[in-house]
């Protein structure tokens, strides 16, 4: 495993991190989820990402149980706050001081730890003053419940405003967590340059685009049994259905010879592609089986040739989404 600094800080994270969005507590049962965490540890992954909203807090519980026997100082544990938890009452969501202060306590209890290494605003909250949010984060840091602050899916303008307040409050905002992969590059024109200027790293999710970039979904064929595209109850199918077009799947199949030439699987090629960007500190990978976790982790430290990078661009062509869409944050967090 290789390691990179997270933003303008002294914190090192593993290039491949393990995340449990739409898996632990929903798509994957606890025993298999624990086996995946053990596999991540076995291949040298030290960075683990979750959120209180994942499976309505169950994902944090499962991760906390799986890591309970590990030396805490050898891990980097990330979690997030914003989306509704519990019964979803009026104060069970957002980035108000009340919700942040109550949520960090709940997350620490579920994760069985005294602190998290990174506490992230899961989206931007248009309905709470940013000053209130950042002051609450500062208090969480000063109380020793989090070491650093991060955000997810914030626009360049929001990143600048949040970073300015963090600097004023003398806390470190060091990361942004966006979606980023060879098919989805909307952060490249504006978000990445802004973050480079501010000393903020990307901790990216969906580096293999919900499994699309593994090549297992074939044009004109039924989706594989047991794949995320068949997960109607856990929500996985909703995230992937818009990508299952014959045009996109045909273009993805053209990546197979490029992966073979690099001695990589298609999944490893996709993860390695993300890590070619110096502003990316870590790529969050999941997995419903331990062998998937190990396969993804083998992409750490891989340097793709210029010919391969060009070949990926040529193969995917206009299937790549490049136009910045701004934040994914809903204008109202109550809808």
What residues are labeled active site?
54
Q: Other CB atoms closer than 10 Å to residue 225's CB: what's the count? A: 6
User: Whole-angstrom Cα distance, residue 23 to residue 30?
Assistant: 10
Residues 184/239, Cβ–Cβ less than 8 Å: no
Residue 256's Cβ-count burial label (10 Å; 0-12, 13-18, 19+) is middle
Question: Can you read off the two tokens belonging to residue 71?
Answer: 């030396």
Residue 92's Cβ-count burial label (10 Å; 0-12, 13-18, 19+) is middle
Residues 316/256, Cβ–Cβ less than 8 Å: no
User: Whole-angstrom Cα distance, residue 189 to residue 194?
Assistant: 9
For residue 172, the surrounding DSSP H or E stretch is none
* Polymer length of the chain: 335
């Amino acid at each position: 495993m290789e390691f990179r600094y997270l933003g303008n800080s002294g914190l090192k994270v593993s290039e491949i991190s393990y995340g449990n969005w739409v898996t632990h507590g929903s798509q994957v049962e606890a025993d298999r989820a624990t086996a995946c965490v053990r596999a991540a540890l076995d291949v040298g992954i030290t960075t683990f990402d979750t959120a209180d909203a994942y499976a309505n807090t169950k994902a944090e519980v499962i991760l906390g149980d799986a890591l309970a026997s590990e030396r805490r100082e050898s891990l980097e544990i990330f979690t997030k706050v914003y989306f509704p938890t519990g019964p979803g009452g009026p104060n069970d969501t957002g980035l108000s001081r009340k919700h942040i202060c109550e949520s960090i306590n709940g997350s620490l209890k579920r994760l069985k730890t005294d602190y998290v290494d990174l506490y992230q605003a899961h989206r931007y909250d248009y309905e709470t003053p940013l000053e209130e949010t950042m002051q609450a984060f500062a208090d969480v840091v000063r109380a020793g419940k989090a070491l650093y602050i991060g955000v997810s899916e914030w626009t360049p303008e929001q990143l600048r405003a949040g970073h300015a307040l963090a600097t004023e409050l003398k806390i470190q905002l060091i990361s942004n967590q966006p979606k980023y992969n060879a098919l989805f590059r909307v952060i490249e024109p504006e978000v990445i340059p802004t973050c480079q200027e501010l000393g903020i790293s990307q901790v990216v999710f969906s580096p293999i685009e919900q499994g699309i970039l593994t090549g297992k979904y074939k044009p004109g064929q039924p989706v594989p049994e047991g794949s995320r595209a068949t997960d109607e109850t856990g929500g996985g199918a909703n995230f992937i259905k818009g990508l299952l077009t014959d045009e996109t799947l045909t273009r993805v199949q053209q990546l197979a010879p490029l992966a073979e030439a690099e001695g990589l699987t298609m999944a490893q090629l996709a993860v390695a592609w993300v890590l070619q960007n110096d502003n990316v500190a870590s790529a969050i990978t999941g997995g419903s089986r331990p062998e998937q976790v190990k396969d993804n982790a083998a992409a750490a430290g891989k340097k793709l040739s210029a010919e391969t990078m060009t070949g990926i661009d040529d193969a995917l062509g206009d299937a790549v989404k490049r136009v910045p869409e701004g934040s994914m944050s809903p204008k109202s967090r109550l809808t």
